[in-house]
Structure 1
Amino acid sequence: MAVPQERLDTGSVEIHADPAGYAGILTPAALAFLARLHRRFEATRRLLLQARRERQARYDAGDLPDFRADTAAIRDGDWRVAPIPAALQDRRVEITGPVERKMIINALNSGAKVFMADFEDSSSPTFTNQLDGQLNLRDAVNGTIAFTSPEGREYRVNDKPAVLVVRPRGWHLHDRFFSVDGEAVAGALVDFGLFAFHNARALHARDRGPYFYLPKLEAMEEAALWDAVMAAAEDELQLPPGTMKATVLIETLPAAFQMHEILHALRRRAVGLNCGRWDYIFSYLKTLRGHRDRLLPERGQVQMTAPFLKAYSELLIQTCHRRGAFAMGGMAAQIPIKGDEAANEAALAKVRADKLREVQAGHDGTWVAHPALVPVAQEIFDRYMPAPNQLGVLRQDVQVTREQLLAAPNGTITRAGFDNNVEVCLRYTAAWLDGLGCVPIHHLMEDAATAEIARAQLWQWLRHADVPAGGAPAGGALEFPDHAPIDFALFDHAVAVHTHRLRDSHHPGAARADDAAALLSAMTHADQLGDFLTLPAYDQLA
C-alpha cells in the first residue's frame, strides 16, 4: 500500500497520516525530541544493519557463528551491572501483550509482577495502533486509564498494578508514517521517543523507571546504540544518568554468543536478559538458512528441552548471575481451552512442566501470554523460589560450546506439521495485515515470532529436505514417518486450501486472506529467505 499522500509538516518531522486525535502525543516538543534522536543516531543504525547483512553473507557462504575473539577480555573480566531498582527485584511472573486499552488494564490487574507493553511482535504497527498505544500508556502512567466495553462493563486499574516495562520495535524496522529530512524514522525511536518524552519524568518520580525490553539485538554494538540513545534522552529530559533500565531479549542466534558483551555495553542500565525462545528459534533458522545439516524438525517438537535450547538457556542464566543481572525465562503461549476440561488441563500441565524446568534451572522469572496463566506460573515459582530472585544460583557447572549452541535436534517432519506451518503463517499474516498482531490459533497465542518460524521452516524444508519417498533429508537427522514429499506442489496446494478456508471463516484477517496468501507464496518461492515477514507486509497495512 502506498504512503498516504497527505502530509503534516510539524516542524522537523513530517507525518504521513491523519494525526487527528493525537495532538496530545504529537506535540511540537515531542516531535522535535524525536527529530533530534533521529538525526543523532540514524547513521549509526544504518551502519549496524549493514553489518548484519555482511555477517549473514558470511554465514550463507559457510561460516558459523562463534564467540568473538576481540571481546575475550569482556567475557573474562570481573565486572557487574549497576544495582537493580527495588521495583524490579521480584519478576517471578511477567505478562506480555499489545498496547490495546482493555488488554493493558487486564494485564496490569493480572497479578503478574511485570507487564511488558508491546509495540513489537504482538502489535500490528498501523498508525492508529501505535498512536493509540502511546495514548493508552500515557493514561496508564498518569493513573487515568479506563475502558467501557460495548456491553457497558467498566475496566479500571486496581491499586496494585504490575510494574510497566515497554518494548519498542527492533532496530531493523522503519516507520513509514514519520520522516525527518526525507528519511523514514526508525520504528524503535518512534516508540521509545514518544513514550519516554511523555512518561519518563513521571515514572522516575515514582521510582518506576522508565523500564524497557529491547528486542532483536544481534551484537554488542547494537546494545551500545541503545545505551547512547537512552543517555541522550536522559540528558534532554533532565534525568540522572542510568535512570532508564533495560532488559534485553536474547532472541537471535548471533546474540547468544555475545551475552556478556551485550550486558557490558548496557552495564549502567542492564537489569537482565530474557530467553526469547520463539524468535530465537526463528533466528536459528534464518541465520543457518544455507546449512543443509542444520534443519529443525516441525515446530511442535522444538521444545526448550532440546539440547541446543537447553544450552542457550543455561548459558544465559550463568552469564546473568555472574554479572548481577536477572535471567528471565520464556513465553508460555497457551490460552484457556473453554468447553474441554481434559484438553485445558493437558495444556496447563505443559505450562507447569515448562515453568518447573525454568525455576529449577535458575531462572528468576518467566513470561505468560494470558492472565489465566499468571497463577499457574506463580504457584510454581513461589514453591521453588521463595526469595525474590535466584541471583545466588551461579550455575558454575555449565560449560557451553559453540557446537552445543548450533547442534540441530533430531525429530520428524510430517504432513500435519508441514500443513500446520502453512496454516499458522497464513492466518497470522492475514490478521496482521488487518491490524491485529496477537492472534489465537489452535489454543495458542501466536505472534510474529511464531509465524516467522513457520515461514522460515517452509522455505528451508522446500530447499534442503530433499526427501525421496520415505527417505531422510541430505545431511540431517530428521525422519519422515508418513513419507511426505517436501515440494512446492504440496506447499501450493496447502496455501490454496487454507486460503479458501480462511476466506470463508470468521477468523481474524478473513478479509485479507488472499493478500496473505500472495505474500506467503512470494516469500516462500523466492530464491533468498527474507529477513522478516513484517518488512514486505508493512507496505500492505491498512
Structure 2
Amino acid sequence: MSEKDRILTPEAVAFVAGLHRAFGTRRDELLAARATRRAEAARTGWLDFLPDTEAVRAGDWRVAEAPADLADRRVEITGPTERKMAINALNSGAKVWLADLEDANTPHWDNVIGGQANLYDAVRGTISLSTPDKEYSLKGEPAVIVMRPRGWHLDERHLEFEGRPAVGALVDFGLYFFHNARALLDKGSGPYFYLPKMESHLEARLWNDVFTHAQAELGIPYGTVRATVLIETIPAAFEMEEILYELRDHASGLNAGRWDYLFSLIKYFRDAGARFVLPDRNAVTMTAPFMRAYTELLVHTCHKRGAFAMGGMAAFIPNRRDPEVTAQALDKVRADKSREASDGFDGSWVAHPDLVPVCREVFDGVLGDRPNQLERTRDDVKVSADDLLDVAATPGSATAAGLRAAVDVGVRYIASWLSGNGAAAIHNLMEDAATAEISRAQVWQWVRNSVVLDDGKTVTAELVREVLGETKRDLTGLARLDQAAELFDQVALDENFVDFLTVPAYEKIT
C-alpha cells in the first residue's frame, strides 16, 4: 500500500472534512482580525495588554497537570519528519522530538504525506530505513513526539472541501490525530502538539475547540491533548496568560520562538517609524532589552500558571569536518542554554543530535534530579508594554555586511525551500523559514526608512537589487536560484508587504 493510500483513507479524509466544516469559517475570520489589529498598531506605534481580559490575568487558575512523559522536557530536538532525520532525532537522547510539519518542513505534497506516514510508523515503533551505507532503526527509549502543524495562515491546495483549499493546520493536525491518538494512548503517551504563529487568545480558543471536537469525535477522553504554544509573534507576547487560559485543560506550556518573534516585531511595526528599526540580525541577541523582557515574562507567566517554559533555538550547529567551528558552536550553545536554565526555563531546543549532550549537561546542572523548575515563579519579574517594545535600546548598527548577509541567506534559504528542504545548514547555522522572513522583512524596513549603513550608503531598492545581482553571481549553479532571487526581490521590495513569504513560495512548488 502506498503512503498516500495509508494516510488518506476515506475515514481520515472524512474526519478532516468535519474539522473544516466546524472551524474553517472561524479561521478565516480570525485571519481578517489580524490585519485589522496590525493596521491599528502601525498607526499608533503601540500595543498593550488587553483591558478586556484583566480578570483572566488577575484570576487564580492553573493549567492541567502534565502527563508523566511530558513532565521532564530538559532537552528537545527539532527537525522535519524526513525518515532518516526522524529516526536520528528519536534516537538522539533528547527527551522530546518536535516533529516539524511547519517551518523546518516544506509543504510539497510528498513531504506532507510522507511526514504523516513517518509519524505513523514512529508512533508504533516500526520506523526504519535501509541505505547502502547504513541501517536506521529505533534504539533504547525514543524521544516523546510533539508534532507541530502548519500555522493558521497556510492553505493546502491538494485537498479541497466545499470547493475551497483545505486549511493546512487542520490537515496536519487532523491526519496525525486520526491515525495516532489511540495508538499513543495505548503506549502510555498522548497526542501532543506545538502550536505556531498564533497572534491572539481567540486563536488559542479556536485550537481548544478543535481539540475538544476531535476528542469527542474519536472517543478520546477530554483533556488528552496537550499543546505547547510558541510565543513567536509580538501581539501574542501581550496575551500569554490569556492564551494559556483558553487552552488550560489542554495546555502544556509556552515556548520562546525567538527568530519568528523578531520577524513578527519587524513585520508588525515595519511602517511605524525609525524607533522600530533593528540593527543587523546577528547583532540582535537574547540579551537585548526587549528580548530579555519577552523571555523573562514568558517564564514568569508559565510558572505562575503551572505551565512549562521552553527555551528557544540556538541556531549554531557543529561541523564534523571542522573542529574549530564545532568548538565555537558548542561554546555558544552552552552559553545560550546556561542563560535560559538560570532564568528559570524548564528545557530548551537544539537542532542537531550532537548538541543534545551540551543542553542536557547545562540543565542537569540546574535541575539535578528534578524534572523541571516550575517552583521558580520569578515573582521578581515586572514587564511593561514599554519594556516589550523598547526596540530602540538594542545595541548594534546596520552594516553593508549585514545587508549582504540578509540577501545571501534569504536567497539561499528560499532556494532550499523551493527544492523541498525546509531545514537548511547555511554558514554553520541551522536555518528554517524564520531566517528568510527576518532577512526580507529587515530589508523591506531598511528601504522604507532610508537606513544609512556603516559605509555611508543609504539602503534603497536599487542598492538591494545591486547586492542581489552580486549574490546571484556568487551562487551560480544553486538549484532554483533564479526563482529564489525573483521571490526575494518580490517579498523584500514590493510596495505591499506579503505577510508570509511561504504563501507566494507555495505557488511555485508542485
TM value normalised by structure 2: 0.98
Corresponding residue for 2:374?
A: 391
The residue correspondences of 1:94-113 to structure 2 (distance < 5 A) are 94-113=76-95
Distance 2:8 2:137 in 1: 25
Instruction: Return the offset for 1:319.
Output: 0.3
Hey, what's the Cα distance between the residues in 1 that align with 2:148 and 2:365?
A: 29
Contact 1:289–1:529 under 8 Å retained in 2: no
Q: Aligned to 1:538, which of 497, 506, 509? A: 506
The equivalent residue for 1:6 is none
Query: Match of 2:418, as an amino acid?
Result: L
RMSD of the alignment, in Å?
1.2
In the other structure, the counterpart of 1:178 is 159
Letter of the 2:263 partner, please give it: F
Q: Distance in 1 between the 2:451 and 2:90 partners? A: 49
Q: Which amino acid in 1 is paired with 2:277?
A: L
1:426 lines up with 2:394 in the alignment: no
Q: Which runs of 5+ in 2 are unaligned?
A: none
C-alpha separation in 2, matches of 1:146 and 1:484: 54
Residue pairs, 1:434-445, within 5 angstroms: 434-445=419-430
Structure 1 residue aligned with 2:395? 410
- The amino acid that maps onto 2:255 is N
Specify the alignment match of 1:122 in structure 2. 104
Amino acid at match of 1:517: A
Residue type of the alignment partner of 1:457: Q
3-state SS of paired residue (2:479): helix
**1:488 alignment partner in structure 2:** 461
Question: Corresponding residue for 1:497?
Answer: 470
Return the match for 1:189 from 160, 167, 170: 170
- Are 2:489 and 1:521 equivalent residues in the alignment? yes
Q: Give yes or no for contact 2:177–2:191 (8 Å, CA) kept in 1.
A: yes
Contact 1:422 1:455 in 2 (8 A): yes
Q: CA–CA distance in 1 between the matches of 2:497 and 2:250?
A: 35
Alignment of 1:259-338 (within 5 A): 259-292=240-273, 293-338=275-320
Contact 1:334 1:370 in 2 (8 A): no
Partner of 1:164: 145
Q: Which residue of 2 aligns with 1:33?
A: 15
Compute the displacement of 1:20 (Å): 5.9
Match of 2:185 in 1: 204
Q: 1:252 aligns with which of 228, 233, 238?
A: 233
Give the match's secondary structure for 1:95.
strand
Which amino acid counterpart does residue 398 of structure 1 have in structure 2? V
Which whole-Å CA distance do the structure 2 matches of 1:448 and 1:133 have between them? 18
> Matched residue of 1:208: which SS?
coil
8 Å CA contact 1:59–1:290 kept in 2: the answer is no
CA distance in 2, matches of 1:177, 1:259: 34
CA-to-partner distance for each residue in 1:146-201, whole Å, 9 max, x for gaps?
Answer: 0112x241000112100000000000111111110101110000000001000000
Letter of the structure 1 residue corresponding to residue 442 of structure 2: Q
CA distance in structure 2 between the aligned counterparts of 1:108 and 1:20, rounded to whole angstroms? 24
Q: Supply the AA of the counterpart residue of 1:497.
A: E
Q: Which amino acid aligns with 1:425?
A: G
Q: CA deviation at 1:57?
A: 1.3
| 1:377-388 map, 5 Å | 377-386=359-368, 387-388=370-371
CA distance in 2, matches of 1:518, 1:152: 38
- Give yes or no for the alignment of 1:43 onto 2:36: no
User: 1:71: how far off?
Assistant: 0.1
Contact kept, 8 Å, 2:73 with 2:95, in 1: the verdict is yes
* Cα offset, 1:63, TM superposition: 4.1
The offset of 1:64, in angstroms, is 1.4
Q: State the Cα distance separating 1:526 from its structure 2 match.
A: 1.1
Shift in Å, 1:341: 2.3
Secondary structure at 2:44 match in 1:
coil
Aligned-partner Cα distance in 1 for 2:334–2:140: 28
The DSSP-based 3-state class of the residue aligned with 1:164 is strand
Q: Quick check: 1:141–1:199 contact (8 Å CA) kept in 2?
A: yes
Deviates more, 1:482-491 or 1:302-311: 482-491
Partner SS, residue 338 of structure 1: coil
Distance 2:324 2:508 in 1: 41
Residue type at the aligned position of 2:381: V
**Counterparts in 2 of 1:124-143, with a 5 A limit?**
124-143=106-125
User: Which of 402-411 and 482-491 deviates more?
Assistant: 482-491
Equivalent residue for 2:194, pick from 210, 213, 225: 213
Q: Which runs of 5+ in 1 are unaligned?
A: 1-18, 468-479, 505-509
Shift of 1:21: 4.2
Give aligned-pair identity as a percent. 53
What is the CA–CA distance in structure 2 between the aligned matches of 1:71 and 1:57, rounded to whole Å?
Answer: 21
Distance 1:484 1:447 in 2: 30
Q: Is the 8 A contact 1:246 1:272 kept in 2?
A: yes
CA shift, 1:214, in A, is 0.3
SS in 1 for 2:486: helix
CA contact (8 A) 1:59 1:65 kept: yes
Residue 511 of structure 1 deviates from its aligned partner by 2.3
Cα offset, 1:501, TM superposition: 2.5
Give the C-alpha shift of residue 490 in structure 1.
Answer: 1.9
Q: What TM-score results when the alignment is normalised by the length of structure 1?
A: 0.92
User: What letter is aligned with 2:438?
Assistant: I
Letter paired with 1:435: G
Distance 2:6 2:500 in 1: 33
Counterpart of 1:452 in structure 2 is 437
Cα distance in 1, alignment partners of residues 311 and 188 from structure 2? 25
In the aligned structure 1, how far is the partner of 2:410 from the partner of 2:161? 34
Contact 1:174 / 1:186 at 8 angstroms: preserved in 2? yes
Question: Matched residues in 2 for 1:466 and 1:160: separation?
Answer: 52
- Corresponding position: 1:64 with 2:40: no
CA distance in 2, matches of 1:21, 1:137: 11
| Partner Cα separation in structure 1 for residue 142 and residue 337 of structure 2 | 23
Question: In the alignment, residue 256 of structure 2 is paired with which amino acid?
Answer: C
Distance in 1 (CA, whole Å) between partners of 2:324 and 2:507 is: 43
Aligned partner of residue 365 in structure 2, secondary structure: helix
Aligned length: 506
1:242-283 Cα deviation digits (max 9, x unpaired): 101100000000000000000000000101000000000100
State whether structure 2 residue 68 is matched by structure 1 residue 86: yes
**SS in structure 1 of the partner of residue 309 of structure 2:** strand
